[in-house]
Amino acid sequence: MGFVRIGVIALVVGLAGPLPAVAQGMEDGMKAFSALSTGNWSLAQFYATRALESHTLKLGDEAGVFAYRGEARRHLNDFAGAVVDYTEAIDRGVSGAFAARVFNGRGIALFAQEELDLAVADYTQAIKLDPKFVEALDNRGVVYMAGGELRRAIDDFTAAAALAPTNPIPLNNRGRAYLEVQFCEEAYQDFTAALDLNPADPVTPLFNRGIAAECLNRADDAFDDFAAAFDLAPDEPNYREKFQEYGLRP
């Protein structure tokens, strides 16, 4: 996409004085991109909207800015608006690796709206465009798991883990899928590997490994993992019931 290259030229031209409308639209698009890179979703949405409403962007640049606004809206939990913007970006001709990320983003927004089949279709398209796109593989696996297609989910998590062996997320997700099919030892191993890969954020794999230890009838190991998870996150609402069961909290 030519947006970044054109936007840089616009910024240079603007140094001489007030920006003309065309240059202002491109600069706003660049500001939207910059805000996304810092996680300022509201500011990104503001600048992307202003750029689009200028009606001065070229078609390819407009596609990029719609994608930027879609990304901002998704992070702001406006999933319906995100789907609309991602679709506008796709219809205007985003291409290559960037297109893969737009399809992935739309898939996330569709999944949030429980549109499982449409989400799978978007993740599949993202993977076709970029076969090494780990996030899209992992995301599709999550949708398959939500829909009860556990064999497909495990296949996607396995492929994602093979492409990114230092990423704990596919391993943690595959462990969850293994638990669903009662492959308890495999689940325990995956949660242990996820914990080893990311010791700085151990709560989720610790808790999940406790569940796997229960599945293996290893009550002492389960208690140890739940107790460690409780020490780190005593107020985690998703774990409250298990903490109470093991007497870790009243």
Q: Identify which has the larger pLDDT, 21 or 102.
A: 102
- Report the pLDDT value the prediction gives residue 19, as an integer from 0 to 100: 53
- Spatial contact of 32 and 51, defined as CB atoms under 8 Å apart: yes
Average the pLDDT over 172-182 and give the result: 97
Average pLDDT over residues 181-193: 98
Question: 128 with 107: CB under 8 angstroms?
Answer: no
3-state secondary structure of 19: coil
Nearest-angstrom CA–CA distance, 175 and 195: 12
pTM, 2 dp: 0.87
Residue 250: per-residue pLDDT: 87
Dist CA 175 CA 184 (whole Å): 8
CATH 1.25.40.10 for domain 1-108, yes or no, is yes
Nearest to 71 by CA among 27, 102, 31, 95: 102
Q: Which of 75-79, 88-92, 142-146, 197-201 comes out lowest in average pLDDT? A: 197-201
Domain coordinates of the chain in residue numbers?
1-108
- If residue 147 lies in a helix (H) or strand (E), which one and from where to where? none
Does 21 score more than 70 pLDDT? no
pLDDT above 90 as % of the chain:
86
Kind and range of the H or E element at 218?
A: none
CA distance readout (Å), 182 to 157, 178, 186: 17, 6, 9
Q: What is the pLDDT of residues 104-122, one digit of tens each?
A: 999 999 999 999 999 999 9
Please state, for a pLDDT cut of 70, what percent of the chain lies above it: 91
Between CA 136 and CA 152 the distance in angstroms is 14
Name the token pair of 85. 């913007």
- Residues 113 and 33: their CA atoms lie apart, in Å, by 25
Interval 34-71: pLDDT, tens: 999 999 999 999 999 999 999 999 988 999 999 999 99
Q: What pLDDT, in 10s, does the model give residues 133-158?
A: 999 999 999 999 999 999 999 999 99
- Coil, strand or helix at 226: helix
- pLDDT at position 17 is 44
Mean pLDDT of all residues in the chain?
A: 91
Q: Is 59 exposed, middle or buried (CB count within 10 Å of its CB: 0-12, 13-18, 19+)?
A: exposed
Instruction: Compute the average pLDDT of residues 232-239.
Output: 95
What's the pLDDT tens digit per position in 188-219?
999 999 999 999 999 999 999 999 999 999 99
Question: What pLDDT was estimated at residue 221?
Answer: 97
pLDDT exceeds 60 at position 235? yes
pLDDT at 12 over 50: no
Q: Which of 146, 154, 199 is nearest to 175 (CA)?
A: 154
3-state SS string over 31-97?
HHHHHHHCCCHHHHHHHHHHHHHCCCCCHHHHHHHHHHHHHHHHHCCCHHHHHHHHHHHHHCCCCHH
